[in-house]
Amino acid sequence: MTSYTDILVGDAGLAVVALRMRDDEKKSCPFVTSGGCKIYEDRPWSCRIYPLKPESTDITEKSGKEYYSVMDVPFCLGLAEDKVMTVERWKTEQGIPIYLEMENPFKKITMNKSLSNKKIINKKIQEMYYMACYDLDRFRRFVLESKLLKLFEVEPETVEKIKHDDVELYKFAMRWLEYGLLGQHGLKVKPDVMEAKKQELRNK
């Protein structure tokens, strides 16, 4: 990943990964060649939605509605096509729905007011956040090889899914972050673990 990305630090002290453009005059995409996009099937959301531009404000966020404008750029050959298409059809044909589904739990965490009002400086928390958001292979090993599944109540079917399904693994990662960063009930500690912890505190 680091060959094609730069890791930035957001206001909350958490990582933001950005695609690293070529060091040329146009700052062109490293995956676009004369023969087209080398990663077309796996292209990110911003490429799929293009040339639509989401128009987001506090009002649209609260209303739960989406608004888009069309970017008038001369190099987008699709705009020259004699074809009319609705926004919904475009989003469906470009495979956008699954990206929006994955974005919702992420936004729920990163846009939470409790995070916007403080800056996380704990290196361990920063690293765990990066792993859950951007390094799913390592997060899968962490889940399956650490004590995590012994500490939390996780449905057996979920455990089986996250062994091979990246989408289910990502959903679980967001539940884990919601619990760890926001103190919300994305996950539930096993009763015996909770009781053992209480007993430990009583004995101190």
Distance separating alpha carbons of residues 41 and 44, to the nearest angstrom: 9
Q: pLDDT tens digit string along 134-174?
A: 999 999 999 999 999 999 999 999 999 999 999 999 999 99
9: which strand partners?
15
pLDDT digits (tens, 9 = 90+) for 24-81: 888 889 998 888 889 999 999 988 988 888 887 666 667 777 788 888 877 777 777 7
Q: What percent of the chain has pLDDT over 90?
A: 43
User: 48 Cβ partners below 8 Å, 6+ apart?
Assistant: 94, 95, 96, 99
Two tokens, residue 168: 């289910």
Q: Kindly report whether the peptide bond that precedes residue 51 is cis, defined as omega within 30 degrees of 0.
A: yes
Question: pLDDT tens digits for 168-194?
Answer: 999 999 999 999 988 877 788 888 888
If we measure between CA atoms, which residue out of 51, 62, 61 comes closest to residue 87? 51
**Residue range 120-139, pLDDT digits in tens:** 899 999 999 999 999 999 99
pTM of the entire structure? 0.81
